[in-house]
Amino acid sequence: MTLQDSTWDTIKKYGVVIILVGPALVLFTSLVVFPVIQASYYSLFKWKGLGPLSDFRGIQNFIRMFKDPIFIKALWNNVLIVGFSLVVQLPIAFTLALLIGRESYPTAIIHRGIFFFPYILAEIAIGVIWKFIYDPEFGIPTIIASLIFGEGTKIGLLGNLDTAFMAIFLVIFWKYVGFHMILYVAGLQNVPIELEEAALIDGASKAQIIGNVIIPCMKGTIIISAFLSVVGAFNIFDVVWAMGQGGPAHSTETLVTYLYNFGFKRFAFGYGSAVAIVIFLICLVFNLLYQKYVVGGQND
């Protein structure tokens, strides 16, 4: 092998890398890395989105954010959505998967379809549909209340500061429970039926089988499902927006609706960028920790 040949080999080797990685790198840099750098830069200014960036404010935007009770409320709402998702939504999705995932009777497919169906609809459409369902004039809560308390009783869940958030969470639950159920159904297919049968012969109860056989076998699926749930919860926007734009009186604000209400609508793009950076950092840190301690721990 001559020197020339090995040089040519090197070029070929790196050439292939460049060609294969190139498109992804170009797209990733221009669509992900660059906007993040740009937004980080904007977040240091008081800027209306028009004209030059001249009013440098350092980290003032970030200080203002954490002093704003509405931002804290939005952050808290996101944390609540994460909490509800993990504690209520995922266990119910798992239970549903256990109930209908293994069965082969014809209606099982229909059952799966019914629970999965809301996931197919666009978030914005779901928001609009549920706004009708909750309508104080002719909505379902009003119909039920009229039956119990008499004609003329009206219930406006979305217009009440105490109930609006739960009303919206119910919709989020309704939309995504089917998605997680399908994930678990798929995970369930990978649990060898022989293991269950062996446990059954050994005299294990149903609960023991679920706890000691099925859940350990499905750990990977559960980790993915929880991860998607958390990241999704931090980015939730369309449903909340369609149902009340973060209102009434900012009671259902989430981080992204806050970004929209206080960045875009008020011509405060510098401040909005700061909010975006905080959302980005929350997701990034969560991702890194999750990869290291949860996903990584599983591989050990």
Residues near another protein (CB under 8 A): 16, 19-20, 22-23, 26-27, 30, 48-51, 134-137, 152, 154-161, 164, 244-245, 247-251, 261, 264-269
Minimum distance between the CB of residue 201 and another protein, rounded to whole angstroms?
Answer: 56
Please tell me the distance from the alpha carbon of residue 185 to that of residue 5, in angstroms, as a whole number.
54
Minimum distance between the CB of residue 40 and another protein, rounded to whole angstroms?
Answer: 18
Minimum distance between the CB of residue 49 and another protein, rounded to whole angstroms?
Answer: 5
Residue 129 vs 195, nearer CB to another protein: 129
Residue 156 vs 232, nearer CB to another protein: 156
- With 0-12 / 13-18 / 19 or more C-beta atoms within 10 angstroms meaning exposed / middle / buried, residue 20 is exposed
- Which residues have CB under 8 Å from 52's CB, separation 6+? none
Please tell me the distance from the alpha carbon of residue 71 to that of residue 84, in angstroms, as a whole number.
20
Residue 47 vs 173, nearer CB to another protein: 47
Backbone angles phi, psi at 177, to 5 degrees: -60, -35
Residue 60 vs 287, nearer CB to another protein: 60
Minimum distance between the CB of residue 190 and another protein, rounded to whole angstroms?
Answer: 35
Could you tell me if 237 and 122 are in contact, meaning their C-beta atoms sit under 8 angstroms apart? Answer: no
Residue 225 vs 257, nearer CB to another protein: 257
Residue 155 vs 172, nearer CB to another protein: 155
Minimum distance between the CB of residue 268 and another protein, rounded to whole angstroms?
Answer: 6
Residue 232 vs 248, nearer CB to another protein: 248
Residue 184 vs 260, nearer CB to another protein: 260
Minimum distance between the CB of residue 263 and another protein, rounded to whole angstroms?
Answer: 10
Minimum distance between the CB of residue 1 and another protein, rounded to whole angstroms?
Answer: 22
Minimum distance between the CB of residue 244 and another protein, rounded to whole angstroms?
Answer: 6
